[in-house]
Structure 1
């Protein structure tokens, strides 16, 4: 069975590869801002799950041509802090403002997951849910923050930080699974795959000796 990751995130791909899977990557083209605007009163967990489901659905037609019995995984992450759900900042000024809010405080990194199992090129089974991880942020000094912003890393990641990159220096601790902060929760994904009849061991490739 072919596992397909509907995400351009190298971090999600790295997590799956380290966990024994080697997914095909199909980048989903969805208007995240429009999807969020269409559900202004949605619960934060529901909101990120809707985005994940949209990403998975966006690649099904492409995948089904060559892999009619594939399982497609979509994910989307956002940070909830002060009751606000924030995604990628995209520019240094926005990232700087985010860090002024986050520094020395606690937020919740939410990741929506959607799994679609194809049978003969059509979606036969689906499962979706979200996972949350509490993140306690350090207080980078001015020089540290400016250097981090200049690296470009926080501009293209949810919440303007990473756990597995340069941003890891500025995370004090977490409550929850670290893979969820990176962008794909292995415990939740295992459960969702089970709901569509896929065992994780069936996705493992040969391990290096």
Structure 2
């Protein structure tokens, strides 16, 4: 069977870089799904948004293997996506510091009309950062662009003291989970590696 083109239904540079680092070279097609129209408990919210993104792009690219993802941070039972603005990011960090949250990422893969969706969860431990560090971090703009207002693969990495679970999931895409989903759709993970490696 010919390997279908891989399309990532996400604008996230971190997800794209994670896939590229794993030897894959997906096309990127942003879904345009309005994330504000979906609510629910954090795990279900992340999964539903991933489904909507994957379905929207699969409708445009029925020839492709489409992967959609969405991440939310759960803190005290609440789902925290991207901060609304700098004040929101500041308030979040004051609430998160010295504590732990769960990063939920929904994954949905669509190929030839078949769809599989599952979520992954990773516990994230945040450092006891100072007000000055919070101000400096928010001023960079980085926390405004990501779910939970933090990264582990960027400037925010120094403010995360540890993770329990798949570290890739914190970046927004669980490679082990994705390998399983694609395998169930009949696509072997090594078949997606760039031919340059072979």
TM-score normalised to the size of structure 1? 0.90
Q: Is the 1:76–1:113 Cα contact (8 Å) retained in structure 2?
A: yes
Instruction: Give the alignment of 1:115-134 within 5 angstroms.
Output: 115-118=109-112, 123=113, 125-134=114-123
Matching residue of 2:130: 141
Is 1:24 paired with 2:36?
Answer: no
- Please give the alpha-carbon distance, in whole angstroms, between the structure 2 residues aligned to 1:112 and 1:171: 22
Shift of 1:126: 1.3
> Relative to 1, partners in 2 of residues 1:54 and 1:98: Cα closer, same or farther, differing over 3 Å?
same
Q: Is the 1:90–1:156 Cα contact (8 Å) retained in structure 2?
A: no
Q: Is the 1:148–1:154 Cα contact (8 Å) retained in structure 2?
A: yes
Instruction: Give the alignment of 1:87-98 within 5 angstroms.
Output: 87-98=81-92
- Please give the alpha-carbon distance, in whole angstroms, between the structure 1 residues aligned to 2:84 and 2:139: 12
Q: Is the 2:67–2:110 Cα contact (8 Å) retained in structure 1?
A: yes
Instruction: Give the alignment of 1:1-209 within 5 angstroms.
Output: 1-36=4-39, 40=40, 43-64=41-62, 68=63, 70-118=64-112, 123=113, 125-207=114-196
- Please give the alpha-carbon distance, in whole angstroms, between the structure 1 residues aligned to 2:188 and 2:34: 32
- RMSD in angstroms over aligned alpha carbons? 1.3
User: Which stretch shifts more, 6-15 or 136-145?
Assistant: 136-145
- Please give the alpha-carbon distance, in whole angstroms, between the structure 2 residues aligned to 1:165 and 1:208: 27
Deviating above 4 A after TM superposition, structure 1's stretches of 4 or more consecutive aligned residues are none
Number of aligned pairs? 195
- Please give the alpha-carbon distance, in whole angstroms, between the structure 2 residues aligned to 1:44 and 1:151: 27
- Please give the alpha-carbon distance, in whole angstroms, between the structure 2 residues aligned to 1:78 and 1:186: 17
Shift of 1:101: 0.8
Give the secondary-structure state (helix, strand or coil) at the position aligned to 2:116: strand
- Please give the alpha-carbon distance, in whole angstroms, between the structure 1 residues aligned to 2:92 and 2:196: 40
Give the secondary-structure state (helix, strand or coil) at the position aligned to 1:76: strand
Shift of 1:208: 6.0
Unaligned runs of 5+ in 2: none
- Please give the alpha-carbon distance, in whole angstroms, between the structure 1 residues aligned to 2:195 and 2:156: 32
TM-score normalised to the size of structure 2? 0.95
- Please give the alpha-carbon distance, in whole angstroms, between the structure 1 residues aligned to 2:176 and 2:197: 23
